[in-house]
Chains A and B, each alone.
Chain A
Amino acid sequence: MPHTPEVDALAVWLDEGYPTAFRTACLILGNPSDAEEAVQEAYLRAWRFRASLSAGSDVRRWLYRVVVNSCNSKLRTEIPHRDRRASDTELERVSAPADGARDVEGDYDVVSALGDLPARLRVVVVLKYYADLSEREIATAIGRPQGTVKSRLHEARRLLANHPSVRRPAAPVASNTHSEVLQ
């Protein structure tokens, strides 16, 4: 393959952000295959339209926006028309790993609850608590006002806390993380 300086810039983007973007997409879509496609499509699209990124803009935020849009596109167009059994199996596999989140959280299967959230809420939760974006950055990423982000986060936290998969532990646990589940 010929050496292209612009493709080198894309390589830098990938090195810096691909793992996070891929896992963000996994949490949003609940399916690694879809996530891989979405992220690949998002990076290629972002690279094609890199000229629309004004000088001095935050590339990371912009890339997140492209990834979120790509995920939303899949959620709107492809996934609803697909045989749900495959994704359910996939979700079950992901939400019940042998040494994964359930082991860490004990009785708090947050990932399963996350899968039951509406997509608009799931996106803001993932961007906030996994990607560590600020509310302002999330607002930019989803193209909505900051107030909308706040209200969606609040609603998402309330739904998660009331979800059957997220229960108050029967007995106190040693880990500080486990004891801070509910307030």
Chain B
Amino acid sequence: MSTLHDDTLSTALKDAARQYPVPPGATAQILDAARGTTQRHELAGGGETSRWNRRRLALVAAVAIVLAVLAGSLSLAGLGSTNSRNVPTFAATLPGQKSAGFIDATSAGIAVLGTKRMSNGPSTSPGSQSSKTQVPMADQTKVVSVGSISLSVAVGNFNRVLAKLSALATGADGYVSSSKVTAGSQAGAVSSAGVVELRIPQRQFGTVVAKAEHLGHVVSAVTNSTDVTSEYVDYESRIGALDASRAQYLAIMAKASSIGDILAIQAQVNVIESEIEQLEGQRNLLVNQAAYGTLTVAINQGAAAPSHPSGVYRAWHQSISGFVGGVEWLIRAAGPALFALLCLAAVLLLGRFGWRASQRRFI
């Protein structure tokens, strides 16, 4: 392969370049243009340098904004995950309750409001003047507890578990509110299933849930508690206010002289009493729900259900659960990590583009 000698090439190019005459007045044009630019920029109060600095500042600001958005989204993601983790923890800290192994607040369709202990005094609404609302608020705390357990029991244990559940409810001063059983053969050729709804006093609710979970293999367990204290106080206040109104109407009616006035006042009193009855009914329902927690136990008897899982079985089960938990954690972490990587790549690309553009255009 042949190549040209450097000297030959250099000489040829220099000879060729000499054929290009330098245009007369070109440098003067450049100087004139430069002077004009200077004057314009002095009049405008800034030059290209300050514009360049402003562009650099804008670029830095854009990068800072992207990083801030990234940090904000990451922190929000962190808060979100913390909240979701707090749900079972919170439920577990309620008095007299125990958190089950598989908590799923959304599947129960119940919003966990929390047990807000009200430290303020009685409500200042008109109804709060009644003697009922002057009871200390700590004693009025109303919590509605709802639980759902799905049990898998060994063949032949179905009826025994049903009986034990009933005994648990009655032993805790509760009762069986409903029961629906589809019985199979005792030998287990046909599976049996049933759903039992227990009403347990609030203080015994956690204990009964814990005991019920030991009656078979727990497939799923959900417990939720809702603080309804504010609703209860609201009912009390409204009832008190309506009571006061009714008393005032009755006082006015006692002084009424015409039949027409008496009838009109009586009609108003009837409306108020109707409202009071409605509110008292709702309040009593709330009191009942708060006094007795509702535990729904679904029992399934299948041939494969282990009656007494051995230590090895439990260890294997925990191992699988741990593995699944680890995979879930990885999937949860992958989203924010991917988002962070995308943002970082965007920032890097932007920086590289800006740097190359500045090198190409401004240097």
Contacts and interface: CB of A to CB of B under 8 A. Distances in A.
A139 B38 CA distance: 32
Nearest to B9: A129
B76 interface: no
B362 A49 contact: yes
B261 interface: no
Nearest to A162: B2
Interface string A148-163: 0000001001101110
A183 interface: yes
Contacts of B359: 143
Contact of A18 (B17, B27, B34): B27
Given A4-B35, A6-B38, A22-B22, A40 B2 contact: no
A183 B3 CA distance: 6
A59 B166 CA distance: 96
A79 interface: no
Interface residues of A, number: 62
A62 B19 contact: no
Interface in A6-56: 6-7, 10-11, 14-15, 18-19, 22-24, 26-27, 32, 35-36, 39-40, 43-45, 47-49, 51-52
B34 A65 contact: no
A23 B22 CA distance: 8
Nearest to A8: B31
B19 A94 contact: yes
Nearest to B1: A158
A40 B26 contact: yes
Contact of A2 (B8, B20, B39): B39
A39 to B, nearest CB: 8
Nearest to B3: A157
Interface in B137-166: none
A132 B9 CA distance: 11
B17 A14 contact: no
Interface in A49-83: 49, 51-52, 62, 65-66, 69
B16 A101 contact: yes
B29 A183 contact: no
A129 to B, nearest CB: 4
A121 interface: no
Contact of A44 (B8, B33, B47): B33
B236 to A, nearest CB: 76
Interface residues of B, number: 43
A182 interface: yes
B2 A183 contact: yes
Contact of A22 (B12, B20, B33): B20
A110 interface: yes
- Specify which of B8, B15, B23, B360 lies most central, judged by the most chain A CB atoms within 10 Å of its CB: B8
Contact of A10 (B9, B12, B18, B34): B34
A52 B363 contact: yes
A44 B37 contact: yes
Given A26-B17, A101-B19, A130-B17, A48 B47 contact: yes
Contacts of A36: 23, 26
A12 to B, nearest CB: 11
Interface in B346-363: 359-363
A157 B9 contact: yes
A7 B35 contact: yes
Contact of A27 (B6, B7, B17, B361): B17
A100 interface: yes
Interface of B: 1-20, 22-23, 26-27, 29-35, 37-39, 47-49, 52, 359-363
Q: Which 3 A-B pairs have the closest CB atoms?
A: A110-B12, A23-B17, A101-B16
14 contacts: A22-B23, A32-B20, A40-B26, A43-B30, A44-B30, A47-B34, A52-B363, A95-B16, A100-B18, A111-B12, A143-B359, A160-B4, A161-B3, A177-B11
